[in-house]
Amino acid sequence: DIYSQREHYWLQAQEQANRTCASGYDQASRHLHQLFESYQFKGDAAVFDQRFKRFIAANNSRKALLNRLSDLA
């Protein structure tokens, strides 16, 4: 289950973002959307929002990635 492995998914999302290519951004987006859903399901949306904001701040210069994540912001 994604929630129980959430740290792994956060790390994977960042690793994929670090690849700075379309396929990496697609994978990072997929991981973050899955994380969003799992946090919602567990009633932990505020924790996701806090972590997501840190992810966005760390990747603020990657506009193509941010576009893929705009529906989560």
Q: How much is the pLDDT for 52?
A: 98
Structure tokens at 10: 């956060």
What pLDDT digit, counting tens, does each position of 14-40 carry? Answer: 999 999 999 999 999 999 999 999 999
Q: Phi and psi dihedrals of 38, rounded to 5? A: -70, -40
Residue with tokens 């806090």: 50
pLDDT band at 73 (very low <50, low <70, confident <90, very high): confident
Q: What is the pTM of this model?
A: 0.95
Q: Which residues contact 45 (CB under 8 A, 6 or more apart)?
A: 39
pLDDT average, residue stretch 52-57: 98
